[in-house]
């Protein structure tokens, strides 16, 4: 009897082991999405607005980097096939369309021509400017706005109060537009030689001959801006690009998976998001694993993504290092490291914070400090207020752009 039971038991084992589990594979097959019908999207029109108020004259008098960057940007846009139609404008108190080609436009953007341009070149109402360029945006049109982004409240205004009020106005203006359109803003900070008068918040000129920052804003629907970022990466923008920041309502889902390498120590995966049997490396006493992430659906600047300060590891025992690593279906690699004595089971939630990058504050001046003061040449009066104004318009509910959840089990 005992032998019969043993025999049956072994038979059952063998039967069980040999029963094929094809379901999973079948499931995979049935889960494949239906063929998508490809619709060739229509190309957006690009309206380029170059601010030609007096504060901009210093860039165009020397005419090197400033021209080159605009020229290279516009050429890249055309060459990339992003658009078939580029409209060129100068903008101060109102817009002035230039029915010329890009090279002619660039040639014309010089000090001699600028002085003869119409409109009120003496003052810059940033809010009005943003209102104008943002209003031109629709599903088939993007705006490119080139400006020094310096507020000019004038002699009679309190500088601090002014930019505070301007900020709120920008917020209201943009927020209204956001109710009907899913807008996104890119701001590039570039530098160029500046030879001319720098006008401070009181409109007092100071002659300078140095490098000064200026800004190129790309404004459009989130979809058009996403395509813009893909087709015209920052590497295509010549002329001393320093920083960038993208503001949008990020609805993109990121995909991620634990990778086998690089690593320090050892572990096993049970699936793409779960680690088991984590072991530290004996020599370095560290344990590190990598997560490949696809951030392409997020309209976030590359520099933002690789700054570990913009992440919350979710567990103080772990630190992060992010590198840009384009790889098949991923864009970045996050290296998660711990030196704690015991690697306890945990659920790690890594958050990509939603915040204004530090450089905005670093290169901003809110107190109208003398341009000749140390470090002020880098700064732009009221920059952070513009950016905060736009940022606030988006009324973010969460402070997280995206999160990555990894289980570390026994």
Partner 1 sequence: MSIIRNIYSWLSPMYGNELYEYLKGNDCDGVFIGPDHFLTIGLIMIGISLLVFIAYYYLINHPRYNRWYHWGTFLFLTGIFNLFIGFGYTYSKLNGGNIPACFTYSQIEATDDGSIFGVDGTEILFNSNCWQFGLANAIIAIAFFIIFTFAFKWWSRNCKHSPLF
Judged by CB under 8 A, the stretch of 107-115, 233-241, 255-263, 345-353 that binds partner 1 is: 255-263
Quick one: which of 17, 37, 39, 342 contacts partner 1 (CB under 8 A)?
17
Q: Which is nearer to partner 1, 38 or 328 (CB)?
A: 328
269 binds partner 1 (CB under 8 A): yes
Instruction: Please report which helix (H) or strand (E) contains residue 201, including its range.
Output: none
Least distance to partner 1 from the beta carbon of 343, Å? Answer: 16
> In the chain, how long is the greatest CA-to-CA distance?
110
405 binds partner 1 (CB under 8 A): no
| Closest CA relative to residue 250, chosen from 81, 398, 109 | 398
Distance of alpha carbon 295 from alpha carbon 311, whole angstroms = 13
257 binds partner 1 (CB under 8 A): yes
347 binds partner 1 (CB under 8 A): no
Q: Which is nearer to partner 1, 94 or 279 (CB)?
A: 279
7 binds partner 1 (CB under 8 A): yes
The SS3 assignment for 93 reads: coil
| Closest CA relative to residue 86, chosen from 98, 69, 96 | 98
**Beta-bridge partners for 205:** 199
Quick one: which of 71, 143, 259, 402 contacts partner 1 (CB under 8 A)?
259
Judged by CB under 8 A, the stretch of 10-18, 142-150, 177-185, 378-386 that binds partner 1 is: 10-18
Q: Which is nearer to partner 1, 360 or 406 (CB)?
A: 406
Distance of alpha carbon 158 from alpha carbon 137, whole angstroms = 32
221: Cα within 13 Å, side-chain hemisphere = 13
Judged by CB under 8 A, the stretch of 81-89, 181-189, 267-275, 309-317 that binds partner 1 is: 267-275
What mask, x for binding partner 1 by CB under 8 A, covers residues 291 to 310?
Answer: -x------------------
Distance of alpha carbon 359 from alpha carbon 6, whole angstroms = 73
344 binds partner 1 (CB under 8 A): no
CA 289 to each of CA 257, 274, 391, 408: distance values in angstroms, whole numbers, following the listed order: 11, 11, 34, 11
Q: Which is nearer to partner 1, 35 or 271 (CB)?
A: 271
The SS3 assignment for 205 reads: strand
Size of the residue set binding partner 1 (CB under 8 A): 35
List strand residue ranges (DSSP E) for 177-281, in order: 183-199, 205-221, 241-248, 255-264, 266-271, 274-279
Q: Which is nearer to partner 1, 23 or 316 (CB)?
A: 23
Residues binding partner 1 (CB under 8 A): 3, 6-7, 9-11, 13-14, 16-21, 24-25, 28, 257-262, 266, 268-272, 292, 325-329
């Amino acid at each position: 009897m005992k032998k019969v039971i043993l025999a049956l038991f072994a038979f059952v084992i063998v039967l069980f082991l040999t029963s094929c589990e094809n379901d999973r594979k079948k499931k995979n097959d049935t889960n494949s999405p239906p063929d998508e019908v490809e619709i060739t999207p229509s190309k957006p029109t690009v309206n380029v607005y170059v601010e030609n108020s007096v504060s901009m004259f210093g860039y165009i008098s020397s005419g090197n980097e400033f021209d080159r960057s605009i020229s290279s940007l516009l050429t890249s846009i055309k060459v990339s096939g992003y658009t078939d139609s580029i409209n060129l404008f100068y903008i101060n108190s109102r817009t002035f369309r230039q029915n010329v080609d890009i090279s002619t436009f660039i040639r014309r953007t010089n000090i001699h021509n600028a002085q003869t341009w119409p409109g009120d070149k003496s003052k810059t109402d940033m809010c009005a400017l943003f209102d104008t360029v943002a209003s031109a945006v629709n599903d088939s049109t993007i705006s490119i706005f080139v400006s020094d982004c310096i507020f000019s409240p004038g002699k009679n205004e309190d500088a601090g109060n002014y930019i505070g009020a301007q900020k709120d106005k920008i917020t209201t203006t943009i927020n209204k537009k956001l109710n009907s359109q899913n807008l996104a803003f890119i701001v590039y900070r570039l530098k160029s030689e500046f030879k001319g008068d720098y006008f401070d918040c009181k409109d007092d000129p100071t002659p300078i001959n140095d490098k000064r920052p200026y800004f190129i804003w790309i404004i459009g629907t989130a979809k058009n801006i996403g395509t813009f970022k893909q087709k015209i990466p920052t590497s295509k923008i010549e002329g001393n690009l320093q920083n960038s920041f993208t503001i949008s309502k990020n609805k993109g889902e990121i995909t991620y998976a634990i990778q086998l390498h690089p690593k320090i120590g050892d572990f096993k995966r049970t699936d793409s998001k779960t680690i088991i049997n984590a072991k530290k490396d004996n020599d370095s006493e560290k344990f590190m694993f990598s997560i490949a992430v696809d951030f392409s659906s997020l309209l976030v600047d590359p520099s933002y993504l690789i700054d570990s300060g913009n992440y919350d590891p979710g567990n103080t025992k772990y630190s992060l290092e992010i590198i840009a690593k384009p790889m098949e279906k991923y864009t970045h690699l996050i290296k998660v490291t711990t030196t704690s004595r015991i690697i306890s089971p945990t659920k790690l939630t890594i958050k990509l914070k939603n915040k204004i990058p530090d450089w905005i504050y670093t290169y901003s001046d809110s107190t109208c400090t003398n341009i000749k003061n140390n470090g002020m040449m880098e700064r732009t009066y009221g920059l952070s207020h513009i950016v905060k104004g736009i940022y606030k318009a988006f009324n973010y509910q969460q402070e997280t752009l995206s999160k990555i959840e990894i289980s570390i089990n026994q």
